[in-house]
Chains A and B, each alone.
Chain A
Amino acid sequence: MTRGWKLTALLSLVLATLAVLSLFAGRVAFPPGEIARAVFAPGDIAEAVDIIVWDLRMPRTLLAILVGASLGLAGAALQGLLRNPLAEPGVIGVSTSAAFGAVVVFYSGLAGAFPIALPLGGMTGALGAVALLILLAGRNPGVLTLILAGVAVNSLGGALTALALNLSPNPYAAAEVVFWLMGSLADRSFEHVRLAIVFMVPGWLLIFSARRALDALSLGDDAAASLGFDLRATRWLTVGGVALAVGASVSVCGTIAFVGLVVPHVLRPLVGFEPSRLLPASALGGAILLVVTDIAVRLLSVGIELKIGVLTALIGAPFFFALLVKLRRVMR
């Protein structure tokens, strides 16, 4: 585990720097001294800069880190489990289905009565997607089968989400479906951070507990089983962890796709392709990507804020194409 500490240290440093920068980005410009004072000597949260830093920018930054880490980690975990570089919660429809679960809970009023129901709804949706995916594509799907099954699950999830919003007696439904399907970190509060973290952390722990098994799975199911790994438990741990982490993320921020695709792919050569080492690296990398994208969203938005999922899709979709082309050539 001491190997690769350099990468971890570097990624952590970059993340910390970006997190600090994130506190400076927003609609209102403050001199750096003001912001530093607000962070370290908050007073009684009365000044404008205090409110903006603590109630708006701080939870937003924290959530970008937590959600980014969850998405990166989930992508790396799914790719390790399915042994397929195209697996990621957005592409295979887990995120969209989580959105459906969250939408049902939110607009039925259940989340108002029991806030914890919201991430639970997201998690249930995510689990449903995985179950459906396994049904469609089997346990060790090839590239094509996985993409096709993912398209199906994604379409279903998106359609159900839009339908649920359509049926809800909500005059803002048309605008809000964009939030659920394209994601946003705008105006999130510490309430959202609390809700999400309760499920994310166990999700991360579940995924991490399967890291050695994911390494062994590189050798194939039989070799891994013969090394003493319980493959069924590994699948449940990984899938359960992904469902918790992604479900919680989507329930507070909507669907943000492609983070789990781009980050592990970029970092994989740097960790010797080992799935276990890729997990922490992808978590940090995902957090970095999302914080950077969120800063960009704040700097680029003129009127109503750009949805962050739009930016990640602009980065991720071309990436996805390039990956597909590369894989097709290899498969030939």
Chain B
Amino acid sequence: MIRLKAQHVDVKFGSRAALKNAGLSVQAGDVVGLIGPNGAGKTTLLRVCANLLKPRSGEVLFEDQPLADMNARTRARAVAFLPSGAPCHWPLEVYRLVALGRHPHLSPWENRSPADLAAIEDALELADAGKFRGRAVDELSDGERARVMLARALAGQPRLLLADEPVAGLDPLHQLKVMEVMAALARKGDSVVVTLHDLALAARFCNRIVLLDEGHVKAEGTPADVLSAERLASVFGISAVRGDHEGLPYILPWSAAERPPR
């Protein structure tokens, strides 16, 4: 089933057009990779899909309902947004931080039911952040922090997770761990949209890729379709090495390419 469909999205910041007729479509079980050069509009599109930014025109439908018309609580339960940079202004205790993600499910008087507590535990386990539960978040390394933030997003048991650069700046182990969590989510039937700079990761973990450049969607499809050699050259200016390992294909950006005339 179609979980999220964004169409004809236009966003302007002042006079600059950040997104032009952009869109994407997410099904249940998808891990959609949103890629493109810096400034292409990836974060902007993701924020539109999270209802954090109102587009000048276009629409976003969540399971066939206009996203903007949904009740805030219902929407918060369905869609989780994980901002880039893992911001946390106060050094909260990890467990309490993750518990914040449960808010869309809590009643006004905020007593956590057993279901809530179970969801928090599940989220901690899924993100492999359980062992830090009693520590302050500022004591953790970047990779550990990223997992805690992911657990926060998962605590709400969203059907759609929108993650902005969740692996930027992480060491290889944690990059893989985080992406594996995303894949596990998709296997459960939920959906994930993740913006990435790392093309290798995108090719490995995403079953669909959306390529953005200068606000336009240049291509949408499987990694093999989208990450063709000529697209890599024309959009990213690189050439890549391809192969497969254990039955799965991989792509390795290798060198700068000579750009074909546009």
A residues with CB within 8 A of B: 1, 83, 212, 215-220, 222-223, 225-230, 268, 272-275
Contact = CB atoms under 8 A, between A and B. Distances in A.
A273 to B, nearest CB: 4
Interface centre among A216, A225, A228 (most CB of B within 10 A): A228
A216 B79 contact: no
A220 B87 CA distance: 6
Contact of A273 (B50, B87, B91, B103): B91
Given A227-B76, A227-B156, A230-B72, A217 B89 contact: yes
29 contacts: A1-B110, A83-B89, A83-B90, A212-B103, A212-B110, A216-B103, A217-B89, A218-B97, A219-B88, A219-B100, A220-B87, A222-B47, A222-B52, A222-B83, A223-B81, A225-B81, A227-B76, A227-B100, A227-B101, A227-B103, A227-B156, A228-B77, A229-B72, A272-B92, A272-B96, A273-B90, A273-B93, A273-B136, A275-B90
A1 B104 CA distance: 18
Interface centre among A217, A230, A274 (most CB of B within 10 A): A274
B166 to A, nearest CB: 13
Nearest to B76: A228
Contacts of A222: 47, 50, 52, 81, 83
A227 B104 contact: yes
A226 B100 contact: no
B208 interface: no
A217 B88 CA distance: 9
Given A222-B52, A226-B79, 18 more contacts: A83-B90, A218-B100, A219-B97, A219-B100, A219-B149, A220-B89, A222-B50, A223-B83, A223-B87, A225-B52, A225-B81, A226-B80, A226-B81, A228-B103, A230-B72, A273-B91, A273-B136, A274-B96
Nearest to B92: A273
A226 B73 contact: no
Nearest to A85: B90
Interface residues of B, number: 33
Contacts of A273: 90-93, 136
Contact of B93 (A223, A228, A272): A272
A268 B136 CA distance: 13
Contacts of A219: 83, 87-89, 97, 100, 149, 152
Of all A-B residue pairs in the complex, the 8 with the closest CB atoms, nearest first, are A228-B76, A226-B81, A273-B90, A220-B87, A83-B89, A222-B83, A228-B72, A218-B89
Contacts of A217: 89
B82 interface: yes
A273 B79 CA distance: 27
Interface in B111-128: 111
A257 to B, nearest CB: 24
Given A222-B52, A227-B156, A216 B92 contact: no
A218 B103 contact: no
B8 interface: no
B77 to A, nearest CB: 8
Interface in B123-145: 136
Contacts of B77: 228
Contacts of B174: none
Contacts of B76: 226-228
B75 interface: yes
A227 B52 CA distance: 11
A268 B91 CA distance: 10
Nearest to B104: A228
Contacts of A225: 52, 81
B50 A226 contact: yes
A1 B47 CA distance: 33
A223 B82 contact: yes
A55 to B, nearest CB: 41
Interface centre among B91, B96, B149 (most CB of A within 10 A): B96
Interface centre among A220, A225, A226 (most CB of B within 10 A): A226
Contacts of A212: 103, 110
Interface string B140-170: 0000000001001000100000000000000
Nearest to B72: A228
Contacts of B156: 227
A20 to B, nearest CB: 33
Contact of A215 (B51, B83, B100): B100
A204 to B, nearest CB: 18
A228 B75 contact: yes
A139 to B, nearest CB: 14
Given A83-B89, A272-B92, A272-B93, A220 B83 contact: yes
Contacts of A272: 92-93, 96
